[in-house]
Structure 1
Amino acid sequence: MKDTEKFAGAKYVIKANFTIEGVVEKHDVIGAIFGQTEGLFPKELELRELQKSGKIGRIDINLKSSKDSTRGTIIAPSSLDRAETALIAAAMETVDRVGPCESKINVENITDVRVEKRQKIVERAKELMRDWVVKDGQEIEKLLDEVQKEDKKIKAVHYGRERLTATPDISKSDEIIIVEGRADVNNLIKSGVTGVIAMEGVKVPKTIRNLTSRKEVTAFLDGDRGGDLILQELMQVAPPTYVARAPRGKEVEELSPEEIDKALDAKRPLEDAKAKPEPEEKAPRFSEEIVNLTNDLRGTLEAVLIKTDGKQDERIPVSELVEKLKDANDVKLVVFDGIVTGRLIDTAREKNIDTIIGERVAEGVRIPRGVEVRSFKNLN
């Protein structure tokens, strides 16, 4: 039987060794312990009462007699608190006779059963964790194997007499996408796009001509001069049904799945397509919040300092602006209803302020590098 089961419900275990000058039996030792400790403490701490209430468990005696003497151990489980358990252990040591024989009892130790339980819990937790990690590792390996198997199913192939790079389903697809090179095909495969074939050059291969004559074709081209040239070539000998372009300055092979989806969704009929990609809409230099702030400040002769975290300080009179800047920290933008002067610019540069927006800029002011100066009328 394991100790944790043997001492179920106990907090502590008293272990004592004894030596008796004579031959005795177990019941003699137990009787001496109960008898000689009786009356030492109040009734609620007497061993008999403690056993009745379950606060002291069954006392085990292990002994061996040899040459007219008996030696052995006493094991007493306790569910009392530390102090009471120590008191009972000390009381056992007062037993000096067992029957007619002299005896000596010495407490070897008092152990905390819960320490053993905690240790077993920790060991079991480690075991569970190891099993868990191994199981998870096996599951991950299994998932990776499945993904790799799936990945192997979709690999670029060679198609047509020119052995053009294409997806395996190119001959079965009613709608196909023509791209410039092998890298473009591979990138579209990674993004889950099928029915793709590469021209692999500016000159239109015969295989591409045959496909455009019997399938719905989208030409998906780079957003650069090379894409323009290929589109012109296609329009002459193998006109596609639709045209999709990568964003300006980007190539199809470097697009993310989201960018690919967006570009293909924005495809246009050939007659509406132009050789050059549509210019990207230029984002406003200053936010609507800044523009509204300039409108609010107009005519007030007040200034606002905007910190690097985007927070605005309280408005101050323009007459105090330069002195205020000298003591300010973490300012990135100054907006004020006044004239931008050289003195203000110098102060802003010393404080590492990026931008100054004033009602107007004084004539002949030299604007150094690192400081942007704008007027209310020239924000974007």
Structure 2
Amino acid sequence: MQNSDTTKYIIHAKIKADGVIERPDVIGAIFGQTEGLIGADLDLRELQKSGRIGRLEVNIKSNMGKSMGTIDIPSSLDKVETAVLAASLETIDRIGPCLANIGIAKIEDVRSSKRKKVIERAKQILSEMFDEMLPESQEITDEVRQSLRIEEIMNYGKENIPMGPNVVDSDAIIVVEGRADVLNLLRYGIKNAIAVGGTNVPQPVTDLCKKKTVTAFTDGDRGGELIIKELLQVADVDFIARAPDGKGVEELVQKEILKSL
């Protein structure tokens, strides 16, 4: 029997017969009518003995006095030899007592089929399994930094206003819009930021601004403009800084933060 590990091609053929035939009839016709037709090197019996072709798979069904079915022949020959062998099958015109016709449907390249399966499986592995693996070194450091930032963030006053750990003791503070902005500044070592939480500036922040040197640092959008206007009306603001147009303070990297401030 053909070793599937060495199979290169599979010849797929269709068979029709004007009468009732069975598998042994088809096998006998194939071996008998191709013998000596294409030379000793491609003699089916010898090829099968040496393992260069595999077991002939024949499926036959009969109905209303007619028979039809399929023939599959595994081959470890090269493509030219396999094509010649396939062509020889089409010379068979009689099976048992019946007129018959064998036509080649296709020659399947097993290695190509395997390559396609490998590609599809590789895609599946990449999409499903690599997500479950350990993070890259950069992801690890970012995760550690994130946990440290969350631990460092504090709350100011009864309103639990998010702030960095140095706000109370520092001579200068940075007033930002929200908690995410405070966290992002903490990520880059800026620990004196406090959030106002929107356009309604809390009274504790207003009172704190009277005692500190204040930089208002807001998003580069319409909301940021409105917060600046309110801060200028209700608090003592010494400096104004804005994120680049269309960007929020929470998404800035260190270089952008330092440039803005």
Flag structure 1 segments of 5+ consecutive residues without an equivalent: 160-164, 171-177, 202-252, 256-380
Aligned counterpart in structure 2 of residue 38 of structure 1, from 35, 38, 44: 35
Aligned counterpart in structure 1 of residue 173 of structure 2, from 182, 186, 193: 182
Q: Does 1:70 align with 2:67?
A: yes
Q: Does 1:200 align with 2:200?
A: no
Aligned counterpart in structure 2 of residue 10 of structure 1, from 7, 11, 19: 7
Aligned counterpart in structure 2 of residue 99 of structure 1, from 96, 101, 112: 96
- Computing the radius of gyration from Cα coordinates, the structure with the larger value is 1
User: Partners in 2 of 1:119 and 1:14 — Cα distance?
Assistant: 19
Q: What SS does structure 1 have at the residue aligned with 2:21? A: coil
Q: Structure 1: which amino acid aligns with 2:172?
A: G
Deviations along 1:69-91, one digit per CA (max 9) or x if unpaired, are 22111111111111111100111
Q: Structure 2: which amino acid aligns with 1:126?
A: K
- Which residue of structure 2 aligns with residue 326 of structure 1? none
Q: Structure 2: which amino acid aligns with 1:181?
A: A
- Which residue of structure 1 aligns with residue 124 of structure 2? 127
User: Partners in 2 of 1:17 and 1:98 — Cα distance?
Assistant: 13
CA gap of 1:53–1:136, structure 2 versus 1, over 3 A, is: same
- Which residue of structure 2 aligns with residue 24 of structure 1? 21
Aligned counterpart in structure 1 of residue 152 of structure 2, from 138, 154, 176: 154
User: Partners in 2 of 1:92 and 1:73 — Cα distance?
Assistant: 12
Aligned counterpart in structure 2 of residue 167 of structure 1, from 149, 165, 168: 165
User: Partners in 1 of 2:87 and 2:185 — Cα distance?
Assistant: 83
Q: Is the 8 A contact 1:167 1:189 kept in 2?
A: no
CA gap of 1:67–1:193, structure 2 versus 1, over 3 A, is: closer
The 5 Å alignment of 1:1-380 reads: 7-132=4-129, 134-135=131-132, 147-155=145-153, 167=165, 180-183=171-174, 190=187, 200=212, 254=258
CA gap of 1:111–1:188, structure 2 versus 1, over 3 A, is: closer
Q: Is the 8 A contact 1:96 1:105 kept in 2?
A: yes
User: Partners in 2 of 1:98 and 1:188 — Cα distance?
Assistant: 86
Query: Which protein, 1 or 2, shows the higher relative CO under an 8 Å CA cutoff with sep ≥ 6?
Result: 2
CA gap of 1:68–1:166, structure 2 versus 1, over 3 A, is: closer
Q: What SS does structure 1 have at the residue aligned with 2:31? A: helix
Q: What SS does structure 2 have at the residue aligned with 1:182? A: strand
Flag structure 2 segments of 5+ consecutive residues without an equivalent: 158-162, 176-181, 192-207, 214-256
- Which residue of structure 1 aligns with residue 232 of structure 2? none
CA gap of 1:147–1:129, structure 2 versus 1, over 3 A, is: same
User: Partners in 1 of 2:146 and 2:139 — Cα distance?
Assistant: 10
Q: Structure 1: which amino acid aligns with 2:153?
A: K
User: Partners in 2 of 1:166 and 1:17 — Cα distance?
Assistant: 79
User: Partners in 1 of 2:131 and 2:164 — Cα distance?
Assistant: 41
CA gap of 1:12–1:190, structure 2 versus 1, over 3 A, is: closer
Aligned residues: 187
Deviation at 1:58, TM superposition (A): 0.8
User: RMSD across aligned C-alpha pairs, in angstroms?
Assistant: 4.2
Deviation at 1:183, TM superposition (A): 4.0
TM-score, length of structure 1 as denominator length: 0.41
